[in-house]
A and B are shown apart, each in its own frame.
Chain A
Amino acid sequence: MTKSNATPAANALNASTEKPVMANTKSRIRAVAVFGGALIAASALAALAAGCDDSTTPRETVPVAPVADSGARDTGSTTIPGTDGGTGTDAGPLDCFPDPKTHEEIINRCSNSEKIDKNPTLPLLYADGGLPPLPN
């Protein structure tokens, strides 16, 4: 029998430590650009070889403004383009991860599953893409 190892108290601790990390992505993107086409081509080939149904490579993450909190769990302060949960702040090219390791990679892993591209316009979003607090 598998006993749950995490007590509620421990779970609460885990939750508090799962804060997203803000990445200095501008410099990273510049660095990526140096390697340009060769890197993209190699990554694309790797993705295809791994059976990825999206033909583009995983991309660097870029930060969006911190979420205005509502106590929300994991609504995130980092995102990859077009992966903002529909906040409409980005609409970058397709991405998937053939060998995911992190949460963000796992939820964007490559698959042959039916998928729906949806990026709605939500008027109450803050200009920076953050979520407003919930009303009482």
Chain B
Amino acid sequence: MLGIALSLASAPAQAQTAAVTCSSLQTQNPVFLLLGATQEPLIKTLGKRIREGTTPTTIIYRTAGSCTNVAEIVKAAPKITQNASYIPSVAQDPTWDPSKPAPQCTMDIAGGADLDVANSNVFLDACTTAPLPAGLAAFNGPIQAYTFVAPKGSSQTAITAAEGYFTFGFNGNGQSQPWTDKNFIFILPTTRSTMLSLMLAVGINPATKGKGTLLQDPNEVLNAVAQSATPEKTIGIVGAELYDVQRDKLKALAFKAYKQRYAYYADSTSTSFDKFNLRNGLYFPWSPTVYVTKVDAQGVPVNPRVKYLLDLLMGNDVTPAAGFDPQEDVIKAGVVPICAMKVTRSVEAGNLSLYDAPEPCHCYYETKVGAASAAACTACTNDSTCGAGKCRHGFCEAR
């Protein structure tokens, strides 16, 4: 099932191998990234594959809030100046796998390492209204859901947008029962995509007006909610990918958006992992994962290793062939490939519109997540068995 092999990233990255310097990795085709924490498991998995793949690349990264990452890459000379995590080769650590914390390199590069990619897990407009400087472009990747969570011991099953407005916007004084004590309302900094996305989803704008007990890391929120001694009054916010691997400890609250008749989970049920409601527009709080990098006049990433990585994340064909299906890693990480989406939006918490993917992967996605709808899918090896449709990722799609 989803995420079984994923790290929970519940502790800061720790060195598992002998200390190395970041400068020593510069000869190993590095790509330096600033990541939002929600995407670390996916990048570790993809990083491991491409470290040993047909285009060996060393992923070196730090995690920070989405808006912190964006603020760095728009600088004239963006850098990573502190110790960073990296994906080791088999030679460097034959026992390492993505379920383990990534080892760290000591930042010894004078002035820091040039930053190649900044990741935001909300639309950039949630961080800044300023356009990107010339020479930078944003690429929208897989879709990330966010969710309000409560302890297992809570009787609550859903939250409406208006309840969220009063719960978080009034610091526990909004008379939105039972979430009326700020000591049990757990939030994150407004540089974090989880905070930005969910506050904007309930109409708290700017998100800095969202109040509660401030914690610094999504895992802190998860633990605070799960271990609360007052479960009924407790509520928190996490990314769905984190929740999906911690469902034994807490529960997601279904969400009812403004103008919506019912509250829904990101998945079709509270126990499934199919992201049906997210994909079809019934679940409102979601954002794209956005990757910002330097581009040429044609809008193509100037660093070919960055282009290769982003193509893998977006599900584009790569040369040489990767030798694995990166979309499988995307799905396992708990995010949804754009090719499996049936709705889209253009601004954070903005209106939804229908989306018809040019190269859909609905059946592939539904098969990977065990969706009931996958039973209606037809396996294929080429287009000949798909009628007017196309064979994609081993299944017939409409186009």
> Residues of A at under 8 Å CB distance from B?
1-4, 6-9, 11-12, 14-15, 18, 67, 70-76, 78-80, 82-88, 94-96, 100-101, 103-104, 106-109, 111-120, 122-125, 131, 134-136
Once the chains are docked, how many angstroms separate the CA of A113 from the CA of B276?
Answer: 8
Among B209, B262, B290, which residue has the most Cβ atoms of chain A within 10 A?
Answer: B262
A120 and B351 within 8 A (CB): no
User: Contact check: which of A76, A87, A106 meets B281 at CB < 8 Å?
Assistant: A106
B264 and A115 within 8 A (CB): yes
Q: A79-B258, A107-B281, A113-B269 are in contact. Are A1 and B316 (CB under 8 A)?
A: yes
B166 and A122 within 8 A (CB): yes
B257 and A109 within 8 A (CB): no
- The residues of B that contact A79 with a CB separation of less than 8 Å are 258-259
A18 and B166 within 8 A (CB): no
A to B CB contacts below 8 Å, 25 in the list: A8-B124, A8-B130, A11-B346, A14-B347, A15-B125, A70-B204, A80-B259, A80-B261, A83-B258, A84-B162, A85-B258, A96-B261, A100-B281, A107-B281, A107-B284, A107-B352, A109-B281, A113-B264, A114-B264, A114-B265, A115-B264, A118-B158, A118-B160, A120-B163, A120-B176
Among A18, A74, A100, which residue has the most Cβ atoms of chain B within 10 A?
Answer: A74
Q: Is the interface of A mostly helix, strand, loop or mixed?
A: loop
Indicate if B319 sits at the interface (CB-CB under 8 A): no
Once the chains are docked, how many angstroms separate the CA of A1 from the CA of B32?
Answer: 20
B263 and A131 within 8 A (CB): no
A73 and B200 within 8 A (CB): yes
B282-311: CB near A (< 8 Å → 1, else 0) gives 101000101000000001110000010011
Task: Tell me the nearest residue of chain A to B301, going by C-beta.
Answer: A1
Once the chains are docked, how many angstroms separate the CA of A98 from the CA of B268?
Answer: 17
- A69 → chain B closest CB, angstroms: 9
B158 and A103 within 8 A (CB): no
Indicate if B96 sits at the interface (CB-CB under 8 A): no
- The residues of A that contact B174 with a CB separation of less than 8 Å are 122, 124
Task: Tell me the nearest residue of chain A to B310, going by C-beta.
Answer: A1
B170 and A134 within 8 A (CB): yes
B258 and A74 within 8 A (CB): yes
A73 and B354 within 8 A (CB): no
A76 and B205 within 8 A (CB): no
B205 and A124 within 8 A (CB): no
User: Contact check: which of A72, A87, A108 meets B261 at CB < 8 Å?
Assistant: A108
B125-158: CB near A (< 8 Å → 1, else 0) gives 1001111100001111000000000000000011
Once the chains are docked, how many angstroms separate the CA of A87 from the CA of B258?
Answer: 9
Task: Tell me the nearest residue of chain B to A105, going by C-beta.
Answer: B281
A85 and B125 within 8 A (CB): no
A67 and B203 within 8 A (CB): yes
B282 and A15 within 8 A (CB): no
B175 and A122 within 8 A (CB): yes
- The residues of A that contact B288 with a CB separation of less than 8 Å are 4
B351 and A113 within 8 A (CB): no
B343 and A106 within 8 A (CB): yes
- A118 → chain B closest CB, angstroms: 5
A134 and B209 within 8 A (CB): yes
